[in-house]
Structure 1
Amino acid sequence: MTIFDQLESEVQSYARSFPVVFDKAQGEHLYDQDGNQYLDFLAGAGTLNYGHNHPVLKEALIEYIQRDGITHGLDMHTAAKADFLKAFNEVILAPRDMEYTFQFTGPTGTNAVEAAMKLARKVTGRNTIVSFTNGFHGVTLGSVAATGNSHHRGGAGVALGDIARMPFCGYHGRDVDSLKMIDKLLTDPSSGVDLPAAMIVEPVQGEGGLNVANNEWLKGLEKLCRKHEILLIVDDIQAGCGRTGTFFSFEPAGIKPDIITMSKSLSGYGLPFAVVMLRPDLDVWAPGEHNGTFRGNNHAFVTAAAAIRHFWKDDSFSKEVVEKSAIVSHRFKKIADRHGVSVTPRGRGMMQGLAVADGDTADAIGKACFERGLVIETCGNHGQVVKCFCPLTIDKQELVRGLDIMSEAFAEVLGKAVDREAS
């Protein structure tokens, strides 16, 4: 019996899929205590877009620690926070003609979602938030109410209210105009749907199954929000920080959200860090009205600023992500074509996956991948999507090797022959 078996809660999940003790990590690789190497196609569930212990970020953090830089600062002004704000404004916001006020929340994505929904209710004086089928926004009480997954919702232990669920893009099929349906419900005074404070949406649903909202649907959603004076919250916690090829996942649609939530890879180094970005005129908070002891993670400010300046100073990194995304798309199409209608590609950019018949099949494929040295997870409403979420910085040869492993695992589980490809 290990120390984990003796003392750790049954709530643990990833440890069940990867039953080794990890001890070291660098780039796209993890190493267990015995020195065995694993290729990481999980990347901290989207937290490690720049890989493990990136040398540029590590150097910035070590230098800051060695000079006794502030670690914990509540919401006090610090040099590290100022540097992060300056970097984000100059490199990310200004070139995109975006103007937002930053609210530093507790350090995880669900903290940012809670704050965003609370602010929307405070600004509008309304209670209801519209969330979408298969959406995932966290597991604290407010955010889990907006989450669709019954497994997570069932853990709340109390009634979850003040949420109206609407169909995500394509939920009823691509030929059904879900926005027209939503508009009808909001316009009809007898529909039973109260005018909401906000709508919260993921442009690409991560945990919900890599469902992609097309650009026209996102534009229509923004137009719908403007028509009914509803605030638009974009949850870019998993899809942001370059995961889809652009820094923000909604950039190709050209929309301007009222509020944006970010976390996951924002620190660039796996350090806890979350923000709410809000239109300046929406900043109606009273001092300390929403707070959190760890809203001042200065180590995360340091690595975030370094990541922004290193990766986003021009469009070269974004182009690399697009190139790698094309490799994933090509290989996934090959796997899908080989196995027929039982396997279908999902997602966009470097958050792609392959949907199979059910969760048991997907789990078996994930297990077969791990036996070959590949760490990968599943997602979807039935856990049926095998999800490729490797670091964006992954070496192309290692990316291809990981895709080869996936192809072999699919062949083993689905009982089909596979032809290994070199690229």
Structure 2
Amino acid sequence: MTGTPVPGQGAGPARGPEALPPRAKLAVTASRVTAAISRRAGKGSGSVIGGKIALRIAPDLLAQLADHLQVVLVSGTNGKTTTTRLVAEALRAAGPVVSNALGANMPAGITSALAGAGDARFGVIEVDEKYLSGVARDADPIAIVLLNLSRDQLDRAAETRMLAEKWREGLRGTEAVLVANADDPLVVWAASSAKDVVWVAAGQMWQEDSWSCPSCGGVMHRPGDDWYCSDCDFRRPQVTWSLVGEEMVDPDGQVWPLDLQLPGRANRANATTAAAVASVFGVDTASALARMKNVTAVAGRYDVVSYRGRNLRLLLAKNPAGWLETFSLIDPAPAPVFLSVNALDADGKDTSWLWDVDFTRLAGRPLFVLGQRRLDLAVRLDVAGLEFSVHDDLAGAVAACPPGQIEVIANYTAFQQLRRTIKEAQA
């Protein structure tokens, strides 16, 4: 499938949220009230707690809310939030969209987002990898995006091969169109159980989790951009959408420059995937790319902010694959780099992943180490033979930093803490 419009495209939802049964309406109201109380109490957006309350009242609420929408699910280890935002922007060319734009990607957060759908036609939903099969069952999506699979939060998440198997079984026979990364063998194996797959050559810088064949356990070979198993017939599928350098090639062979405001190869790959999704819904590529060009930052990622007279660019990296991609975004040496790592619940408490990151790519730069687990990171950098300094807070690191824009790379909760610190200083 390379762009067949969805049946019913151009019509609004068959029935709006006002047609929900009384119990579901009560659940939606309770979700909104709970979220508002949480916000007023300074406890965050309230989307998760609001969704939890709603699902206790009406356990099938997610399915009822999704029934009014043409749904896209987006999942993978890295790039979910950005790709979700790009897909949502592209589909707005065809009608109103509801999305969990802030990344609350488990069932409670998804339910809370859909409760605010209003007159939306499309639901573009980021989904945590562990919950994809269940959300797909409830939401009955038209399209599912599979981006990548790599090691992440090893104390919480399944080993990548096990997660790929859960996807493969959970999506077997689905009526949804899968838009999947042909360059990740784990994703290809997971997606191959589906009836209808649009393969995208989105690339894969991090390859350390896919050296053995997920189908038979044989050795994977990777000549150039290709890959195949030496012991069975599992190999890279023929693609229909491709990222080639800084350009995108569509199924007809037309080349499209990717004139984005988001930086880096990974975001060009995300945009190529989003264009493929838009095509499934009948949105023409020119319109999709024009809308995606307007995206400048995603939930604070890539923002350049002012703090104590300095410009800081904020970059999020949560696992080895994400850090590898992020290193390719930063200014050339000797631009200073702040590295901040926490190990709270939302990050995963196992910091052994630090030893999988090739920090030698930062050689020649002034490095400043922050965060709850700054000493773990300091040991890793010391073993890598890098020079760095350790700081208790952002203000101290900035005061010690040489002139120039500062690149800040942080994992999830460290990133959020830095954003709060900067926001409070600007107030």
TM-score by length of 2: 0.29
